[in-house]
Structure 1
Amino acid sequence: MRNLLLLTFFSITSFLFSQTKIKGQVIDFDTTIPISFATIVHEGKTTTTDWEGRFSITVSDFKKPIVFKYKGYYDKFAYANSKTTFLLIKAVTDINQKKQELYTDNDVNKIIKKVIENRDTNDPDEKLGSYEYKNYEYIQVSANPDSISSKIDTIYKRNIFGKRRIKLDSTNYKFKKIIENQHLYQTEKVNLIQHNQQGDKETVLATRMAGFKQPIYEFLGLKLISYSVYENPFEILETPVQNPISNYGRILYNYTLIDTVKVDGRSAYRIYFQPKKLRSNRLRGLLYIDTKTFAISKAYYRIYGIVNINATYTFDYLKDQNLWFPKKREFKVHKGSNKEDLKILGGTIKFKASLEQNNENNTSDQAYLQIESTPFDIKINKPVQISKPQIKINVPASSLNKPKSYWSEFTKDTIDKRKIKTYTSIDSLSVSERIEDRIFLGRKIINGYFPVSLFDIDLRSIIKYNNFEGFRFGIGAITNDKLAENYSIAFYGAYGLKDDVFKFGITPSYRIDKTSETWVSASYTDDLNEIAQTSFATDSRRFKIYDPRPINISTFYNAKTSSLSIESKILAKTSSYFSIAHNSITPLFDYTYSVNDVSYTKYNLSTAQLSFQWNPFSNYMQTPLGLIEYEKRHPKFSLQFTQTLPGITEKEINFSKIDFKTYYEIPYLSGQKSTVLFQGGIVFGNAPLTHLYSIAPNNINRDAILKRITFAGKNSFETMYYNEFFSDRFLSLQLKHTFNRVNIGYKINPEFSVATRFAWGTIDHPENHIGLPFKSLEKGFIESGVEANKIFKGLGLTTYYRYGPNQLSNFDDNISIKITYFLDLGL
């Protein structure tokens, strides 16, 4: 009997020790996206991957396969051995399935339909008349020290003679030491969130950013993810995606009912959703749906792509309101399938190219960005007063200098010892590296100025070139806040070497109101203008190291202009401009305007101009520095009216002009983007050629293709020749799609774009314009091309081809090859 017991014991222990518990993950072979709730079979036993594609299985016979099964993929047979601890299964798409899509079962489809139908009764923004709460938000860029190897690597490099050079790489070791002591970066804020029938508003009560006395205000408005799970479109990394609980979302996503669980003591359906197209990098996630109210009681979201994104929403059930109200929001971004850098606040986080586990543990490959947002002091259906609801975020000066004792209330429960050291360390680094001064300088430069004492030097006035003036040298400046906050004087002077003429301008201004940025200005200029150019007074002034289009322009007119103007942002989401101007105009080319038997070679025009730029989908922030468009959304619209003033203008020259422009930019989570630019204009009455439309041509009239190579413009028609077409009414449409940069090697990383441009226009009485031959655009104009930008050090090439009704008979004349240049200021 004793021998039998011993034999049984040894048999059982032998069997137990022969079993090996293995963890694993299933990913798509091409996209590396985890495959959720797939079937794993081994020795007749079945398990299921979780929603991140992970599984755990006990293996007793290593000769028998671990089989993966999932619709849309080939069955995959994998084998483990006694040393295997983690098994990565790469599933291959079944090419025999022509339409690789999943379809939602009818039962779970009814649940999702109920969620959509009950959105208004479950969304706090819709159900509650008003609410407000304070919110503590903490953002950090960090890494897990345990995930980083501390070894010092040996690197072998070849020199120009072919011999190997040995170098010790201590990057991992140094990075681990830093990250054990502090985070890479952090910032935190306390804000008041208010909601009533007028909308929502955020007021920053306190904020501090490591390394900055004054915060980077644009960062306070950074919306990395939607506040509400009911918002549609749902936003992630400032990119809109279709919400899975929307009517259109039901077309894009497949839903699977996993089980029923308890959340806060209430029953909830646990439903997994993923794109119907399995290999798409769209949103995936788990929704916990209250079985009685069909409200979301918890939610997890994931996106796998160039960066991997994890978002978690938790809620508290408010019994009195029968409502799930936000409790906490967590958001994390870490490495994805890209090799590009992710820049955050001037720092750089580098991501690896694969989800595969490896033993390299390289430095910033382990870095992540994390946000935690926690509401407190919640008040429901109490009177809430919102001032200036069109301004979504208000940052008063009182929020910038809170004492350390204020922040101790939010850090007293933390076990993160690295947090306090981060502020001390980065503050010291910021002072030594003058980071705050560099950001101040960057803000100036991006608007085209360089501060020197009491003046900001105008960088765009220093040197220019065009065919008429040759090299144009000048100097310009504007007084800054060190001299006076509410007064400024802008001035410039320039001299052209080829035309041998001095040009100048002066503009004194007075600020009436700081909040709305309302300025009144007077100006006088004596300068050149391009003929038939369309410009909007409300267009933003952005810095360019050069302006490529005017280089080859020869047809200018001289304008001596006196004007009074007022500009303001007093209207919600609108920049407005009004001016009255008198112009003495002299065309500097062979031109006579003949109308009603009267001929003009020079003329006087007095005009009133009213201009608006309306950004209805953008959001604005009020700061001590002024109004900031912190969330730039599209489309944007510009509208401009110009009217000559009778009795002051030349008798026979009297016209009205209406110009319109809209710009739409569509970003994608993949990093690609599409843009649409639509413009139109119309002139009523008698207008000279200088004030008609030429629609931004950018091709010079030379025989050979290589002789026409110049710089490309931003939105110009590259195959349209200068002075080829003029119109008194026109329409143009430009479509462009930009792909991700391609890493070819040797620091050659082109960014490819494809573009198509259309234009149409007509002109009445072309016989009135004498001296400059041109054609009408009534048959239309089409060009398409490929751009390879940023190939090396910002330089690139574009190639465009002209076709359609205005195609030229000589094939070579329809081709344009241009050089592009993009200056990255790192801001």
Structure 2
Amino acid sequence: MRIYFTLFLFYTSLFFSQSTIRVYRSDDNRPVKGAKIYCNDKLLAHTDENGVASFTTRCSKVDVEASHFIGDEVVVDKNMEISLDKENSKTREIEAVTLTNESDPKALAILDKVFRNFRQNSPNALDSYSYKSYEKMSFDLDQDSINDYKRFMTARKDSLAKLPNRTLPVKEKEKKDSVEGEKSMSVFAESKMFLWERATQFLYSKKYGEKINVLDNRISGLKEPIYEMITLRSNRNKVPREVLPENRSLYRYFLTDSINIDGRDNYVIRFRQVDYKIPVNRRKYNGYLYIDKETYAIKKIESNSKVKSDGSITSIWIPIDNKWFLKSENLKIKMGTSTFDTVEKKENETAEEKKARLDKIKKFGNYAYMKADYFDFQTPVELQASQFSGYTMSVKNADGSLLDQYRTDSLTLREKMTYTKIDSIGKKYKLDQKAKVITGLLRGKIRVGMVDIDPMQTKYNRYEGFRLGAGFKLNERFNKYISPDVYVAYGFKDRGWKYGAGVDVRTTLERNSFFRVEYFNDVAASGRFSQFLWNARMTIMNSGMSIQNDKYYKYEGLRAGYEIDLSNSLTLNVSAKKQKEEAVFDYEFMNRAGRFDNFSSLATIKFSPNSKNIMTPSGKYTFDQNFPEVYLNYEQGYKSLGGELNYSRFDVLYTHQFRTVLGVTGTRAYGGYFTGNAPVWHQFEMGGLDSSRENSIFSNFNLTTYLGFATMTSGKYFNDQFAGYYFTHRIPWYFKSIGKNTSSFDVVYKGIIGNMKNPEYHKFEFSPLDHLYQEIGLENNNFLSSKFNLGLFYRVGYYSTNKFADNFAIQLKLKVLGF
């Protein structure tokens, strides 16, 4: 019996470990005696004269109530503390002292050490580890108002049933929507609006990298998982936003106390938003950080809204083998309000009647909830190369059948009903199809049923003018292996149609591997740098490269190729094409004008060792693009199979971004080499973005490009060999902008130089760029809290002139395009 009693005590301590909470007043930090601790309305403990109480519970959060104080809630941990505001707001106004608007230097010094030591304290500093997680995300009413909502919906249903002559919408669709809306709102009385569970295994090896296995996954209302949603991440191996140097201007930090947790001393740093100065009906602080004194690692962070009902986020870490692993996360964020009119609007109602009607509107808060538990930590662990095969993330199961093995708490009746109720609604309203519309946008496509629409065929340039067009590709709903596509476009300035068609044939569903054959009849700007295997964000950013270049050529032909991911980080694409090419500007090559027949092959390699990918039914998806990255292209023209051009063209792009104590630095190095004989469009235009500056109010303004020069005249400089660089550095000075945003400045420096061996072969107006072209700039990120960055650039060095307007340019960049 003794051993059974010992086992009972062990499991009791495992599932019901003791927690200690300290409750104190927010105005003077004095302890609150007699405060009551509740779990789901069950009383757990009272605080003593020191404001301290101990209890055991399986609840993830507990409520704290005290006489003459405003109650609050706190995430359960071994050690907790919470401050309560006095109930009388008028008294608080009198007693409140305006908080200093300057952070405590001691607190900032500690946070600097936290940031510098984050990588050293991270689990990735170990040789190897493994652990699992269980995450539960939902969208629901405020937990405290569910019973009120049920009573309201029952009364509303009874009330509507007693109205035989109830006025319904005249239109059939409006009538149907009204009825369906009532039914849906009734469903939410018994179930949540949305529920998603995920169980995951994390493996890491310094030798093999990281592997994330989704052990099981289920989303209410959907038959298939949203793979792009599966990749969502949290504070795992990530610096919390409240600690990042760039967000320091949004908060004020105060070193207020120290606390011992599990035998380790911790600093207690409290913080608040800068626009949060007088605590009236609000918390005195937005949140707090527990910082381990020995390692300067984050033990715990809680970030609250200014108003209690708007939500909070809590993350807790534990030390294992001297590194800090995320143990749990808890999130609650208000996501709007459901409102119900309890009184019908009268025609020609008076101001008093309107006010009375609005006062009777019933409101229920809607919240996003997330709870994550991390467990089964092992380090070091024996791992094999085979465990890291394929992409960074893989999905082992996605029907929810295995979730019960990993749940750290059982589903409530309301959560179980969510799968039953919302699954039936999802089937009825075809939520799977609507969800895939959203995931298509993440890839730069618009999904309509089995068709993906590419809007990037619509653009503007000096040759075509406004080009209206779109691409259409049949996705996996048509066939998992075969995907035909077409595109068509029309240029209003050149009055020409452009079109093409192709088909992809997959060889496997396990990785990116497919054959492609295509036909095309289109135009392009001369000398464009290769963009093969670029992602959508890079391509969109570089789309402005051809706007001002008017040296266009036509091409028509066929291409056949094969693309394969040799590993998670290495992609190879090989192809061959035969096409007819013709200049559409005044040009002769080696005293010959007209068409040129070209047969060539192309090999492209992309190496991205730190990016993270997942295979989905729609193909590979890169959910975390990390640097460095390398792109290498080799094109060879042949005088065979009808080709008349013999040339070799190489180009390479290296891009990297890294952070130091001096700020964030980004670099790009790129270059090209051409040998042989071919028209100028096979060589390299130097990346000019500026117009000819003739009678245009926009001559000093352009949009950003990935490799362009804001002050360089477009279509003027061509080389057959060149080298260029792009250097940007974010100054580590972040200041508060409008609202809850920060702004910062990037210093930018660009340069490019090259040569043209035989410029006399090309009869048109151009210049070789045989001296170093330099450009410096200052870019304001998050300009006026908008979604744009505003850059000011100036040309220096050999190509600068005495006229300011010739050297100066303004550039605009969409912020989401990033570095």
Match of 1:212 among 210, 222, 234: 222
2:14 aligned with 1:23: no
Q: C-alpha separation between the residues in 2 aligned to 1:241 and 1:743?
A: 19
| Residue 769 (structure 1) shift | 3.1
Cross-structure match for 1:638? 631
Q: C-alpha separation between the residues in 2 aligned to 1:741 and 1:581?
A: 53
Cross-structure match for 1:680? 670
Q: C-alpha separation between the residues in 1 aligned to 2:649 and 2:326?
A: 58
Q: 1:627 to 1:701 in 2, by over 3 A?
A: closer
2:796 aligned with 1:804: yes
Match of 1:459 among 450, 455, 460: 455
SS in 2 for 1:439: helix
On the 8 A contact 1:788/1:796 being kept in 2, the answer is yes
The structure richer in helix per residue is 2
Q: 1:410 to 1:742 in 2, by over 3 A?
A: same
Letter in 2 for 1:312: I
Letter in 2 for 1:485: K
Cross-structure match for 1:40? none
Cross-structure match for 1:628? 621
On the 8 A contact 2:638/2:645 being kept in 1, the answer is no
Cross-structure match for 2:329? 330
Q: 1:489 to 1:254 in 2, by over 3 A?
A: same
Cross-structure match for 2:372? 372
Q: 1:575 to 1:444 in 2, by over 3 A?
A: same
Cross-structure match for 1:353? none
Match of 2:688 among 682, 685, 697: 697
On the 8 A contact 1:509/1:521 being kept in 2, the answer is yes
Cross-structure match for 1:514? 509
Q: 1:758 to 1:284 in 2, by over 3 A?
A: farther
Alignment of 1:753-792 (within 5 A): 756-765=748-757, 766-776=759-769, 778-784=771-777
2:724 aligned with 1:725: no
Q: 1:756 to 1:798 in 2, by over 3 A?
A: same
Cross-structure match for 1:565? 561
SS in 2 for 1:92: coil
Greater CA drift, 217-226 or 440-449: 440-449
On the 8 A contact 1:22/1:57 being kept in 2, the answer is no
Letter in 2 for 1:607: S
On the 8 A contact 1:200/1:392 being kept in 2, the answer is yes
Q: C-alpha separation between the residues in 1 aligned to 2:366 and 2:91?
A: 24
| Residue 581 (structure 1) shift | 2.6
| Residue 144 (structure 1) shift | 4.8
Cross-structure match for 1:139? 137
**Overall identity of the aligned pairs, in %:** 16
Q: 1:330 to 1:484 in 2, by over 3 A?
A: closer
Q: 1:26 to 1:218 in 2, by over 3 A?
A: farther
On the 8 A contact 2:523/2:555 being kept in 1, the answer is yes
| Residue 178 (structure 1) shift | 10
| Residue 531 (structure 1) shift | 0.6
Q: C-alpha separation between the residues in 2 aligned to 1:101 and 1:820?
A: 35
SS in 1 for 2:437: helix
| Residue 566 (structure 1) shift | 0.9
Letter in 2 for 1:223: R
| Residue 731 (structure 1) shift | 0.4
On the 8 A contact 1:697/1:720 being kept in 2, the answer is yes
Q: 1:363 to 1:664 in 2, by over 3 A?
A: farther
SS in 2 for 1:513: coil
| Residue 680 (structure 1) shift | 1.2
Q: C-alpha separation between the residues in 2 aligned to 1:740 and 1:185?
A: 38
Cross-structure match for 2:583? 587
Cross-structure match for 2:232? 222
| Residue 311 (structure 1) shift | 1.0
TM-score by length of 1: 0.63
TM-score by length of 2: 0.63
Q: 1:650 to 1:425 in 2, by over 3 A?
A: closer
| Residue 552 (structure 1) shift | 4.0
SS in 1 for 2:221: coil
Cross-structure match for 1:712? 703
Letter in 1 for 2:416: I
Q: C-alpha separation between the residues in 1 aligned to 2:109 and 2:816?
A: 48
| Residue 24 (structure 1) shift | 0.9
Q: 1:753 to 1:420 in 2, by over 3 A?
A: farther
On the 8 A contact 1:330/1:372 being kept in 2, the answer is yes
On the 8 A contact 1:506/1:523 being kept in 2, the answer is yes
Letter in 1 for 2:670: G
Greater CA drift, 83-92 or 635-644: 83-92
Match of 2:437 among 427, 434, 441: 441
Q: C-alpha separation between the residues in 2 aligned to 1:662 and 1:515?
A: 28
Q: RMSD in angstroms over aligned alpha carbons?
A: 6.0
Q: Structure 1: where are the runs of 5+ without partners?
A: 1-20, 28-45, 49-54, 60-77, 153-175, 243-252, 336-340, 343-361
On the 8 A contact 2:691/2:713 being kept in 1, the answer is yes
On the 8 A contact 1:621/1:628 being kept in 2, the answer is yes
Q: 1:376 to 1:680 in 2, by over 3 A?
A: closer
Q: C-alpha separation between the residues in 2 aligned to 1:661 and 1:208?
A: 40
Cross-structure match for 1:395? 395
| Residue 213 (structure 1) shift | 2.1
On the 8 A contact 1:750/1:790 being kept in 2, the answer is no
Q: C-alpha separation between the residues in 2 aligned to 1:401 and 1:56?
A: 41
Letter in 1 for 2:553: Y
Alignment of 1:9-88 (within 5 A): 23-24=25-26, 84=91
SS in 2 for 1:204: strand
Q: 1:140 to 1:505 in 2, by over 3 A?
A: closer
On the 8 A contact 1:578/1:608 being kept in 2, the answer is yes
Q: C-alpha separation between the residues in 2 aligned to 1:124 and 1:471?
A: 50
On the 8 A contact 2:548/2:715 being kept in 1, the answer is no
Q: 1:447 to 1:145 in 2, by over 3 A?
A: closer
Q: Structure 2: where are the runs of 5+ without partners?
A: 1-22, 30-49, 53-63, 69-84, 153-184, 246-252, 275-284, 337-361
Cross-structure match for 2:528? 533
| Residue 489 (structure 1) shift | 2.8
Greater CA drift, 142-151 or 813-822: 142-151
State the aligned residue count.
Answer: 659
